[in-house]
């Protein structure tokens, strides 16, 4: 598939939504503004986009790629950055907590599922990880394997029955347990692994978004269709800020799926097709993987105590600049190492 610039643009926006949402857990400001901390819904966007792209890849493979081969390829793509980000966070924890060598080794040994990227399987120890946001990557690996298997082996059964039924069961179960689709629920055990359930259901929704996109591509698109997709994204952003952590999460996920389907349609918007958007989008994974070390271990050391809302906004702006700069540097060093490895 050719790269889609509209999705690149929204990938940037929703990445920073997650960064800002997590910032509030360390430097509270949302409730003081009369809002709700509901921007965790941005994770839905990424799972939906992943499901969309996975469906397209299954179609393009012609059934020649096994789930194992696909997952291994994804592992090779993402795992090096994932592992380095976990180790960077580990170093920050050792320094901030002043851990002894024995305590440091114990922390690593206790986090072996996270180091392997398999904590999303439910075999780990809840949310007590070195880099808590790493759960998303692990669930992406596991849910991607499951989804590829069914789309390759049983496409009709999955698209017509298994997928829709699973989405309904997963969403209703999440609401029954926590009342929302927030991922901050149990991630232990096979049958109580709600993070995996959430991720897999969202990726299924992405598959249906891809199918809906095929329908839209075959029609004469009205001029306002792109505007409708943009309005959908903005609607979710505003509603999540006003009514986050509520039973409206499912509605927002459905709106996101429709908006993703529209966003993948061709666009000639100059802003969306600019080189800056493409380059910025390429570091969104780095931003996601690295922002936790700044939020949890660096900025609390630099800015202890309580602050007014304007002061907190200033700290958050600095935080976002630092995270972005770190992501750019991370990408540069990673590519530099890759070039040197290829030369050798």
Assess whether pLDDT exceeds 90 at residue 71.
Answer: yes
Which of the two residues, 3 and 333, has the higher pLDDT score? 333
Tens-digit pLDDT profile for residues 23-65: 998 999 888 888 888 888 999 999 999 999 999 999 998 888 9
Q: What CA–CA distance (Å, rounded) separates 310 from 316?
A: 10
Contacts of 190 (CB under 8 A, 6+ apart): 121, 122
Q: What CA–CA distance (Å, rounded) separates 131 from 114?
A: 8
Q: What CA–CA distance (Å, rounded) separates 115 from 128?
A: 13
Please answer whether residues 119 and 105 qualify as being in contact, where contact means their C-beta atoms are separated by less than 8 angstroms: no
Model confidence at 2, pLDDT cuts 50, 70, 90, reads very low
Specify the DSSP class assigned to residue 296.
I
In 3D space, the residue among 122, 120, 88, 93 whose CA is nearest the CA of residue 106 turns out to be: 93
Exposed/middle/buried for 66, CB within 10 Å: 0-12, 13-18, 19+? middle
Tens-digit pLDDT profile for residues 202-240: 999 999 999 999 888 877 665 568 888 999 999 999 999
């Amino acid at each position: 598939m050719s790269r889609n610039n509209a999705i690149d643009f929204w990938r940037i926006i929703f990445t920073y939504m997650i960064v800002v949402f997590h910032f509030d857990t360390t430097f509270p400001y949302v409730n003081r503004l009369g809002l709700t901390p509901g921007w965790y819904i941005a994770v839905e966007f990424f799972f939906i986009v992943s499901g969309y792209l996975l469906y397209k890849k299954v179609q393009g493979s012609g059934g020649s790629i096994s789930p194992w081969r696909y997952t291994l390829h994804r592992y090779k793509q993402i795992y090096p950055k994932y592992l380095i980000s976990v180790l960077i966070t580990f170093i920050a924890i050792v320094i901030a907590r002043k851990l002894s060598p024995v305590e440091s080794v114990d922390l690593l040994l206790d986090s072996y599922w996270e180091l392997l990227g398999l904590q999303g399987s439910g075999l780990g120890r809840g949310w007590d990880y070195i880099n808590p946001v790493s759960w998303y990557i692990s669930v992406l690996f596991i849910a991607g394997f499951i989804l590829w298997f069914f789309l390759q082996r049983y496409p009709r059964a999955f698209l017509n029955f298994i997928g829709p039924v699973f989405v309904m069961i997963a969403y209703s179960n999440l609401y029954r347990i926590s009342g929302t689709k927030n991922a901050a629920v149990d991630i232990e055990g096979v049958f109580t692994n709600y993070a995996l359930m959430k991720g897999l259901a969202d990726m299924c929704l992405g598959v249906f978004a891809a199918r809906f996109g095929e329908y839209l591509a075959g029609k004469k698109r009205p001029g306002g269709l792109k505007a409708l997709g943009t309005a959908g994204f903005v609607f979710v952003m505003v509603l999540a800020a006003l009514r986050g952590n509520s039973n409206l999460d499912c509605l927002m996920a459905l709106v996101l799926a429709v908006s993703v389907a529209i966003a993948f349609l061709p666009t000639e918007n100059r802003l969306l097709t600019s080189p800056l958007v493409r380059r910025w989008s390429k570091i969104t994974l780095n931003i996601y993987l690295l922002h936790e070390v700044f939020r949890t271990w660096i900025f609390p050391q630099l800015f202890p105590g309580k602050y007014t809302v304007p002061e907190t906004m200033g700290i958050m702006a600095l935080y976002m600049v630092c995270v972005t700069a770190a992501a750019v540097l991370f990408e540069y060093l990673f590519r530099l190492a890759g070039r040197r490895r290829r030369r050798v």
